[in-house]
Amino acid sequence: MEKRTDATPTSSPLDEQDNNISRRHFIQTAAAFSLGFAGLGTLAACARRSPEVWTNANYGFGPLIPDPEGVLDLPEGFSYRIISRHGDEMADGFLVPHRPDGMATFAGPDGVTIIIRNHEVSHTAAATEGPFGAGHDRLPQIDRAMLFDAGAGETSPCTGGTTTIVYDTRNQAVVREYLSLTGTIRNCAGGPTPWNTWVSCEESVERAGGRLLVDHGYCFEVPASADPVLAQPVPLTAMGRFNHEAIAVDPASGVVYLTEDRGDGLVYRFIPNVPGQLHEGGVLQALAVVERPSLDTRNWDAATVATGDQFRVAWIDLADVESPEDDLRYRGFADGAARFARGEGMWYGEGAVYFACTNGGSERKGQIWRYTPSAAEGTAEENQTPGTLALFVEPNDGALIDNADNLTVSPWGDLIVCEDGSGDQFLVGVTPEGELYRFARNAMSGSELAGATFSPDGTTLFFNIQHAGLTVAVTGPWNERRSPSAADGNNT
């Protein structure tokens, strides 16, 4: 297989950039990404099958071929390129930060793809993990007002945030790369919006003091631009201060859904005062199950929820959403909200929101849930036809899924799940029929794979090998995904 590792920016006819991306394109893309998911209910039956069935080479894209370079094992016919490395110099003179995590893509001008990428860098990390270099020697190149938290000292800024990669999928080449948000900490995941921004989330509730000038634990909005633009570091305070992980937006209603990476976390929704304008404030609520108030969905000590169970949902208003006590989840649960086991990756598909709970299940190996919004989501009428919550998969076997983290929906309808467990780390596909297969293996190390997302044209899968600080682009015969019947000569 071809293994290209050249990440050098190339020249392109795209010197005149236009970052105007239509809402209509986003909705069409989201719809295409979720085709076929109506069949996911069959996961209940599949959960009882053996690991050999779930990883059978007769479906998915076939067995993984060992990479002679020892980076990434992929099925026959697929190849990867390393398109970005920690420490690379970017077009704006800053360096690619370390610990790449959640990502999303947007359609750019003249067919390019705009990738916005989080960096889960802590305020205690070494200077070399940030964009300003050893000793923060490049810090003078930035207006300190563009740092959310410039730090208590002259050379101690917070260095988490986001970078943006402009990528030409036709030539499989980087056009440019730049810093797009900085001064935050532990930007783990987030999510795309229909109005062409990325919401980056801080997985932190650190308070001001010591090296920190301000409280953390917020979401920030980053525009999808093909030209270098550093986002104003304005926290979306009405979306709450907690251990944020990911978000997803329902393009029909403009409602934002959020996960909380805590072993006893909640799932939230934010109803903006003005759809598409998150800075204008709104109402933060927590998900509750109508039939079972304060439901513990984790299944740790007892199987309180079975795969395939479906519940009607109500939403509980939350007060004091910026509480310095980090107690939203306690107050919400006491008021009847459901409790989840480390909500992490979240993605919107046609008519539904899928999210992973990394430590759910009796073996704490992970769950995947689906929330289907009401036709009247976010209005007074939704009480008549409430949204529904269903548990789609809980395998309780690390050989099937080992701590599901980031996830996305592929152009052909499969869910692609990043593992963050122990030992070997895989990208796992879930077919509309409920079968599981392994698509990629980190052959370098036990580092998690993160940020899986497809280009808008469907040709390229991007994801990160976090601890190595690498972003890769994978291409291949996406139309050759096989069903279990392929063993009998019948391809999908």
The model's pLDDT over 343-389, given as tens digits with 9 standing for 90+, comes to 999 999 878 999 999 999 999 999 999 999 999 999 999 999 999 99
pLDDT at 435: 77
pLDDT at 12: 36
pLDDT band per the 50, 70, 90 thresholds, residue 444: very high
pLDDT at 434: 67
What backbone phi and psi angles, to 5 degrees, belong to 466?
-60, -55
CATH of 3-7+22-486, one of 3.30.450.20, 3.20.20.10, 2.120.10.30, 3.40.50.150: 2.120.10.30
Q: What gap in Å lies between CA 81 and CA 4, rounded to an integer?
A: 4
pLDDT at 353: 95
First to last CA, the chain: 24
pLDDT at 433: 66
Q: What is the pTM for the complete model shown? A: 0.89
Which tens digit of pLDDT belongs to each residue from 215-230?
Answer: 999 999 999 999 999 9
pLDDT at 155: 73
Secondary structure (3-state) at 269: strand
Q: Of the given ranges (4-8, 66-70, 76-80, 213-217), which has the lowest mean pLDDT?
A: 4-8
pLDDT at 328: 98
Length of the chain: 492
* pLDDT higher than threshold 60 for residue 473: yes
pLDDT at 370: 93
pLDDT at 414: 87
pLDDT band per the 50, 70, 90 thresholds, residue 413: confident
pLDDT at 484: 59
Q: What gap in Å lies between CA 285 and CA 108, rounded to an integer?
A: 34
* pLDDT higher than threshold 70 for residue 47: no
Please give the average per-residue pLDDT across 79-91, as a whole number.
98
* pLDDT higher than threshold 90 for residue 474: yes
What does pLDDT average to over the chain?
Answer: 88
CB atoms within 10 A of CB 274: 11
Q: What gap in Å lies between CA 5 and CA 71, rounded to an integer?
A: 10
Please report, rounded to a whole number, the percentage of residues in the chain having pLDDT higher than 90.
78
pLDDT band per the 50, 70, 90 thresholds, residue 201: very high
Kindly list the distances between the CA atom of residue 121 and the CA atoms of 186, 250, 290, 345, 375, in Å, as whole numbers in the listed order: 5, 29, 39, 18, 39
Q: Of the given ranges (87-91, 371-375, 408-412), which has the lowest mean pLDDT?
A: 408-412
Please give the average per-residue pLDDT across 298-322, as a whole number.
96
Which helix (H) or strand (E) element contains residue 439? strand 436-442
Residue with tokens 């099937």: 400
pLDDT at 28: 36
Which tens digit of pLDDT belongs to each residue from 243-301?
Answer: 999 999 999 999 999 999 999 999 999 999 999 999 999 999 999 999 999 999 999 99
pLDDT at 346: 97
pLDDT at 25: 34
pLDDT at 305: 96
pLDDT at 483: 73
Kindly list the distances between the CA atom of residue 163 and the CA atoms of 26, 42, 254, in Å, as whole numbers in the listed order: 21, 39, 25
pLDDT band per the 50, 70, 90 thresholds, residue 20: very low
**Where is pLDDT greater, at 307 or 43?**
307
pLDDT band per the 50, 70, 90 thresholds, residue 19: very low
Q: What are the sequence ranges of the domains in the chain?
A: 3-7+22-486
Please report, rounded to a whole number, the percentage of residues in the chain having pLDDT higher than 70.
86
pLDDT at 59: 74
Q: Is 365 left (phi over 0), alpha (psi -120 to 50) or beta?
A: alpha
Q: What gap in Å lies between CA 122 and CA 128, rounded to an integer?
A: 12
Please give the DSSP secondary-structure letter assigned to residue 132: T
CB atoms within 10 A of CB 92: 19
